């Protein structure tokens, strides 16, 4: 089947179902310039030990993590949503998709304008106190570190000052997935009649079990990814091309 036909088929599935759940991975953000920080060997890890984004490493020396964050956070936080993120925001606005489940921590779906976003691995744009759970904006935390408060400590006052350690909500190595977005993602995967995977080769467990949940409750599956995935043979349509290109063409077909 030609690329045109595949894109047409996917647009018809979207129009027919009107409640699709979109599941995204790193591939949707590469054209926003987000480096793949999880893979050692990419730039940052020549300078820093990747154990600083593991829970034991962070607890051992949080100030070292924040030194790395001072350098890397402005680059990541400066990334902007691309055509694919903006397309998904329009789809949600016109009622053609139910929401987005993402493995990404870049916060770009929310920035693009999607409101129903389940961030399975947390976000680099938010931090929380490990003691009391108080949520902070990472922009504010980085400013405090830049002014010399390293590591940043929770000032939340509940009878007495908390003084807990503040950590980005982005999931670190050795840490479980946050329970709320995970539970709601499983529910959404059960309810939907169409799951569209974009930019994930579905290798990371347990997030890659969500397409299974959807398929087992009778949902159609569509996949847009450059690589083979373990779910290709069960997908109604598999499009091997760049997320940005496919979303742009889908947008034209759907008049968005
Ligand atoms: Zn606290």
Measured in Å, residue 130 CA sits from the centre of ligand 1 at 7
Measured in Å, residue 135 CA sits from the centre of ligand 1 at 9
pTM of structure: 0.91
Active-site residue (options: 85, 109, 121, 252): 121
Residue in 184, 168, 159 with CA at minimum distance from that of residue 102: 184
Measured in Å, residue 202 CA sits from the centre of ligand 1 at 35
User: Residue 212 is encoded by which pair of tokens?
Assistant: 């299974």
Mean pLDDT score of the chain, rounded to an integer?
A: 92
Q: Which residues surround ligand 1, an ion (CB under 5 A)?
A: 129, 131-132, 134, 154, 156, 162, 164
**Strand bridging mode 166-168 / 194-198:** unpaired
At residue 2, does pLDDT exceed 90?
yes
pLDDT given at position 44? 59
At residue 46, does pLDDT exceed 90?
no
Burial of 121 (0-12, 13-18, 19+ CB in 10 A): buried
At residue 36, does pLDDT exceed 80?
no
pLDDT bucket at 242, cuts 50 / 70 / 90: very high
Domains observed in the chain: 1-34+81-124+178-256 (3.40.50.1220), 36-78+125-169 (3.30.1600.10)
* Residue 121 appears among annotated catalytic residues: yes
Measured in Å, residue 160 CA sits from the centre of ligand 1 at 10
Measured in Å, residue 154 CA sits from the centre of ligand 1 at 5
Bridge partners of 222, per DSSP, are: 196, 237
Category of 210 on φ-ψ map: left (φ > 0), alpha (ψ -120 to 50) or beta: alpha
């Amino acid at each position: 089947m030609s690329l045109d036909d595949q894109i047409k088929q996917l647009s018809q599935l979207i129009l027919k179902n009107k409640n699709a759940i979109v599941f995204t991975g790193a591939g949707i953000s590469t054209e926003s310039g987000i480096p793949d920080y999880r893979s050692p060997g990419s730039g940052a890890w020549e300078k820093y030990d990747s154990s600083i984004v593991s829970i034991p490493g962070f607890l051992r020396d949080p100030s070292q993590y924040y030194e790395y964050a001072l350098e890397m956070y402005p680059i990541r936080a400066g990334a902007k949503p691309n055509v694919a993120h903006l397309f998904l925001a329009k789809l949600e606005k016109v009622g053609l998709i139910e929401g987005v489940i993402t493995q990404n921590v870049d916060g770009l779906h929310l920035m693009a304008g999607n409101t129903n976003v389940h961030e399975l691995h947390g976000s680099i744009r938010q931090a929380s106190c490990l003691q009391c759970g108080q949520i902070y904006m990472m922009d504010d935390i980085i400013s405090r570190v830049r002014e010399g408060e390293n590591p940043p400590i929770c000032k939340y006052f509940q009878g007495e000052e908390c003084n807990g350690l503040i950590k980005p909500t982005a999931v670190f190595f050795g840490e479980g997935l946050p329970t709320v977005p995970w539970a709601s993602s499983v529910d959404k995967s059960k309810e939907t009649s169409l799951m569209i995977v974009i930019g994930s080769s579905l290798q990371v467990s347990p997030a890659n079990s969500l397409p299974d949940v959807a398929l087992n409750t009778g949902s159609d599956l569509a996949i847009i990814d450059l690589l083979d995935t373990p779910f290709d043979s069960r997908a109604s349509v598999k499009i091997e091309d760049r997320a940005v290109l496919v979303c742009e063409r889908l947008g034209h077909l759907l008049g968005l």
